[in-house]
Amino acid sequence: MIFQSLKNLFTSKNVFAQMKMGGIMKLEGSLIFYHGGIETGLFKILEKPSTLEQIRLGSNIANTRLLAPLLDLGCALDEISCKKGTYRLKGSMAKALAAHVPLTELIRETVLYHADVARNLGAYLIKNTEGDYLKDFGGVIAESSRILEPFIKGFIYHTVKKTAPLAILEFGCGSGEYLKYYVDIHSGNGGVAIDMDASAVAIARKKIENNGIEGNFTVVQENILDPAAVKDKTFDLVTSFSNMHYFSGDARTRLFGTIHSMLKKNGRFILATGFKTGSLSSSYYDLIFSATRGLYGLPRLNDVMRDLKNSGFTRVTSVNLFGDSFKGIVAYK
């Protein structure tokens, strides 16, 4: 019987597709476990080895009948272990999710936002529509984008002058994480940070308060294409990180012209963003952004470099920050 079953399987035209479903199931199961663990605080609880009852008492979980299979799934994924009825963190992802905010928000973004794109993609294609996600996920995206923080901070450190204070404008500031870093580089650095999303602005304002840099930076909710709050100001440095997919080609040209006019003589515009390259990650996010109302597909490097030069920047350079798909650009006035 077993031999005949295996024979039937391996003579099937779809054998490799069927085997691939095992990998898909593991990915889906991982996301279900991670998201369930994040929403219930499970990973934080399991930093201390706990029994099923201790987990229930230490969390907001009322459905213990559902908790047991969730824990079993975590054990099957090798993210947690169970010995004599006591559960503890085991896998690197589970341990990271106990404390790493950008990673937890990236899981939320994937499960709630990206999965909805997958569910509705057929309708978007047929009806020529996109999903309205930004109003609900602006704050989540602001935090999850911090996953690229180490690469962006390295880019900032090697680009920003450290010998004199700079007047800085950061647009699309998201969670405001880099504002403190500018001050760490030089205590006199300061300026204005703007973002269109109210939830991101609230996060950034709270962050500058917690970091004690209210005297250096202010955060305002505004559109960089119509910047009333900074209309008559000029800056030594304008920065933007992971924001180019918020602009169509025409809007990007207008954006670069606006930034050029706001820079002082010898000022610089530095940006770091994802680019369309044909890689898996690039193609993935290009599709997600294209399916989102208010966003556009990833730009190509040559188009961005051309638009910067056409906007009056005298010299434009680029550097790889994370493979070919995520680059930093410095444009000089």
Contact present, 177 and 214 (Cβ < 8 Å): no
pLDDT per residue as tens digits for the range 169-218:
999 888 888 999 999 999 999 999 999 888 888 989 999 999 999 999 99
| 35-67 per-position pLDDT tens digit | 999 999 999 999 999 999 999 888 888 898 999
Q: In what order do the strands lie in the sheet with 190-195?
A: 217-221, 190-195, 167-171, 235-241, 263-274, 326-332, 315-322
pLDDT tens string 298-331: 999 999 999 999 999 999 999 999 988 999 999 9
Gap between the Cα atoms of 184 and 162, Å rounded: 10
The pTM of this model reads 0.86
pLDDT computed for residue 2 by the predictor = 61
Q: Are the C-beta atoms of residues 325 and 277 closer than 8 Å to each other?
A: yes
- Whether the predicted pLDDT of 9 surpasses 70: no
Q: Is the pLDDT of residue 10 over 60?
A: no
CA-closest candidate to residue 87, choices 41, 55, 40, 39? 55
Rounded-to-integer distance, Cα 171 and Cα 194, Å: 5
Percent of the chain at pLDDT exceeding 90: 71
pLDDT tens sequence across 94-127: 999 999 889 999 999 999 999 999 999 999 999 9
Q: What is the pLDDT of residues 224-257, one digit of tens each?
A: 888 777 878 899 999 999 999 999 999 999 999 9
Q: Are 51 and 86 in contact (CB under 8 A)?
A: yes
* Residue 198 pLDDT: 86
Contact 236, 267 (CB under 8 A): yes
Q: What pLDDT does residue 163 have?
A: 82
Q: Which of 1-5, 71-75, 160-164 has the highest mean pLDDT?
A: 71-75
Q: How much is the pLDDT for 17?
A: 75
